[in-house]
Chain A
């Protein structure tokens, strides 16, 4: 009995080897580990639902997020208006969906773009060292001497408010952390034997650092991208709440919350700011769960 089951196992392994599925084994272990983390999976599901709902917003809601309808001002939530209507009769649920498009775009887009900049600089500077590294390090130190929100506000006051400016500011303030992470990984990878081997083959610096070393530094970078997505979404919400983020005519999660600065609205019309605040919190929480799950599944030193 036992022998035959062992034989079966060997058959399976041989079969798999022949199909060359062994090469994907490492990846699937990471995926499995991620899927075992219940919070991360829950986060991923809700994250996907919110993103899909924002993308398909026009299909999900019959209303126009910008259309003013003074006959249905400040209505509490009902079957017609799930989250009620705001002071100019716009449907809050629709605005939350459309706001999600902009807010998530800003958060994810800035995180990815600042990662691209940070990695591009960090990989090369970390591998090469020398004056490029010194200069990049000093520049990132300059950006890091500011508390993040203060630097963002300062840059907003310099450039003025617009969607494009805000993303540029986020990238400018966010690349430093990513650069340091990539650089630190490169500094330790640089001494590995396979890198020395590649160098002795006479491969170009670009090929070595972007094609061979970067993939080995990618997992902490992925974790960092999710965490900075969360941070950028929160910062955008905070800035727009203050009226200093995205211009008020574009619906974003922060801009919808902006009305809560008025104490009368805070007191009497909870649906105008409560649901959107919860949506932001849930979305950011999901992103953090995903980031945490990614870290646990990719970084063996972070157990427990």
Chain B
């Protein structure tokens, strides 16, 4: 087991390094450098080439590409993420502000979608072939077909504008409101996000439950005269949900993707809407840091999942592709 984890770590770090290099050089290739983005269009006509060069020198942009990459990498490892080009705010400061908001939204959505998805999937499996099963399957497909932002917009129109039950968007900061005041703001975005993600969980739970129900120990339990609900809940449900829980980790990229657009729709001040803003403004340091952070999260999650699956299921072949 230890050798397996070490092997995985041997892939993990080079992977991260290669990706950071690719992202850094990709942004290097994009049109214009940091200086040309800092100058407002009105100034651009009056500024001289010498002034531009002086600025480049002041920011260290005249150094070679590899040197700059090395400087950036070493300071990144030491925890210095650099500064955003918009207003020169430290990126670490932006992260501290936005990451909790995104975590809050994602965790609530993950919680609801897992509970809803697992229970609907199990119901669907138990009533296999029935009207309930078929309509749940179709509803699940509709769930993955409707663009999440469109669903979010309809929800805003309905619950925030027409019925006025909930706020249109935004997030209240933790320090000046009580928890109770903050709940209405998170209801719409988290529910929309959760509903969009339920379909996937439902499909996994359904097929996993069907798989388990066909096994022999279920027949044994039935033949012992156990009531049907006990067979389903104690034997079927418990065994079926273990892989589903592991699969939640696989859905992390989906969660990140979904939350990015939903955050934008609901003006939720999280990392996703910050990323979109930085892409729009060509704020390259911020774009780079945030996307690498996502890569780090995804790679870590898949590492943890691989180790967990190996722990749960001894049949997983260790160390071989």
Tell me whether B275 is interfacial, beta carbon within 8 Å.
yes
B157–A270 CB distance below 8 A: yes
* Chain B: interface size category: 35 or more
Chain A contacts of B26 at CB under 8 A? Answer: 154-155, 158
Question: From residue A142, how far is it (CB to closest CB) to chain B in Å?
Answer: 6
B256–A150 CB distance below 8 A: yes
Which one of B128, B146, B275, B299 contacts A145 once the chains associate, using CB atoms below 8 Å?
A: B299
Number of interface residues of A (CB under 8 A): 44
Q: Which of B17-41 contact A (CB under 8 A)?
A: 18-19, 22-23, 26-27, 29-31
The residues of B with any CB-CB pair to A shorter than 8 Å are 15, 18-19, 22-23, 26-27, 29-31, 128-129, 138, 141-142, 144-150, 153-154, 156-157, 161, 168, 210, 252-254, 256-257, 260-261, 264, 275-276, 278-280, 282, 284, 287, 290-291, 294-295, 298-299
Minimum-distance CB pairs A-B, first 7: A147-B253, A285-B145, A277-B150, A149-B257, A284-B145, A147-B256, A281-B146
Question: From residue B251, how far is it (CB to closest CB) to chain A in Å?
Answer: 11
Chain A contacts of B23 at CB under 8 A? Answer: 154
Tell me whether A243 is interfacial, beta carbon within 8 Å.
yes
B15–A141 CB distance below 8 A: yes
Provide the main secondary structure of the chain B interface: helix
CB 8 Å contact bits of A33-76 with B (1 = contact, 0 = none):
00000010000000000000000000000000000000000000
Chain B contacts of A244 at CB under 8 A? Answer: 276, 279-280
Closest A residue, CB atoms, query B290 = A150
Known: A150-B257, A266-B153, A266-B161. A142 touches B147 (CB 8 A): no
Question: From residue B41, how far is it (CB to closest CB) to chain A in Å?
Answer: 17
B153–A277 CB distance below 8 A: yes
A146–B298 CB distance below 8 A: yes
B291–A146 CB distance below 8 A: yes
Closest A residue, CB atoms, query B133 = A304
The residues of A with any CB-CB pair to B shorter than 8 Å are 39, 141-142, 145-151, 153-160, 230, 234, 237-238, 241-244, 257, 260, 263, 266-267, 270, 273-274, 277, 280-281, 284-285, 287-289, 292, 304
Closest B residue, CB atoms, query A134 = B321
B19–A157 CB distance below 8 A: no
A238–B149 CB distance below 8 A: yes
Chain B contacts of A273 at CB under 8 A? Answer: 150, 153
Question: Other than the known A266-B161, A285-B142, what 17 A-B pairs have Cβ atoms closer than 8 Å?
Answer: A141-B15, A142-B15, A142-B19, A148-B257, A149-B260, A153-B291, A154-B291, A156-B279, A157-B30, A157-B284, A158-B27, A158-B29, A244-B276, A277-B146, A281-B142, A287-B145, A304-B210
Question: From residue B188, how far is it (CB to closest CB) to chain A in Å?
Answer: 14
Which one of A159, A274, A304 contacts B128 once the chains associate, using CB atoms below 8 Å?
A: A304
B261–A157 CB distance below 8 A: no
Question: From residue A159, how far is it (CB to closest CB) to chain B in Å?
Answer: 7
A-B contact pairs, 25 of them (CB 8 A): A39-B138, A146-B294, A146-B295, A147-B254, A148-B253, A150-B256, A150-B257, A150-B294, A151-B291, A153-B279, A154-B287, A154-B291, A157-B282, A157-B284, A242-B264, A242-B276, A257-B149, A266-B161, A267-B157, A267-B161, A273-B153, A277-B146, A280-B150, A284-B145, A288-B145
Question: From residue A133, how far is it (CB to closest CB) to chain B in Å?
Answer: 10
Chain A contacts of B145 at CB under 8 A? Answer: 230, 234, 281, 284-285, 287-288
Chain B contacts of A289 at CB under 8 A? Answer: 141
B287–A157 CB distance below 8 A: yes
Q: How far is the CA of A243 from the CA of B281 in the complex (A)?
A: 12
A145–B19 CB distance below 8 A: yes
Q: Please indicate which of the listed interface residues B30, B210, B278 has the most CB atoms of chain A within 10 Å of its own CB.
A: B30
Chain A contacts of B291 at CB under 8 A? Answer: 146, 150-151, 153-154
Known: A266-B156, A267-B161, A292-B141. A150 touches B150 (CB 8 A): no
Chain A contacts of B154 at CB under 8 A? Answer: 274, 277
Chain B contacts of A238 at CB under 8 A? Answer: 147-149, 261
Question: From residue A131, how far is it (CB to closest CB) to chain B in Å?
Answer: 14
Q: How far is the CA of A138 from the CA of B29 in the complex (A)?
A: 23
Chain B contacts of A287 at CB under 8 A? Answer: 145
